[in-house]
Amino acid sequence: MERLKKLLKYSLIISGLVVICPAGLCEEPTMQQLTTPQDISYDDCTKDYYMPSEKLYYLTLASISANRFEIKEMQSKTGYIIFKAGGKEYLASVVYYGLNKSMLKITPVNNNYYFAPGIVSNIFKYIDINVDAKVEQIPKT
C-alpha cells in the first residue's frame, strides 16, 4: 500500500488515464514561475498543431477570451489577433502550413521577450485541452 502511495505521488492524471512520471520531471510550474517576468526564447512562443488553420484561429481567440485578456484587434483573413495582457500587447499569428497543419506564434508587439511565460503557456494549454472540440456556428436567434 505504501508503495502504491509513492507511485501515485509522482503520477499525473489526465482524462481518467494515469501517466507515471519519474520524480521531479512532471512537476507543474508554480504560479510564481508563471507570473514572474523572465526572458523567454522565441521557440517557447511558437507551437505546431495538426489542425486546419481556421480552427486554430478560433481556438486561439477562445483561449485569449477564456484567459480574460483584452482583445485589441483581430483579422480572420490573415489570421492575427492583437491582445493585451499584463500591461503589454501581444500578437498571436496563425500560420498555414497545409490542409491539416498550422502553427501558432505569440510574440510581444514591442519585440521585448521579457514577460511572464504564463501568458503564452496558458493559451497553448487551453488549445491543447480543446483540440478535439468541434468548431460550429451558433445560429442567430
3-class DSSP string for 37-92? CEECCHHHHEEEECCCHHHHHHHHHHHHHHCCCEEEEEECCCCEEEEEECCEEEEE
Look up the pTM and report it.
0.72
Query: Parallel, antiparallel, or unpaired: how do β-strands 70-75 and 11-14 relate?
Result: unpaired
CATH class entry, domain 36-129: alpha beta
Q: For 21-44, what is each residue's pLDDT tens digit?
A: 444 444 455 544 446 778 889 999
Q: Which three cell numbers stand for residue 78?
A: 490573415
pLDDT digits (tens, 9 = 90+) for 113-138: 999 899 999 999 999 999 988 877 78
Neighbours of 133 (CB within 10 A): 12
Range(s) within the chain of domains with CATH label 3.30.310.80: 36-129
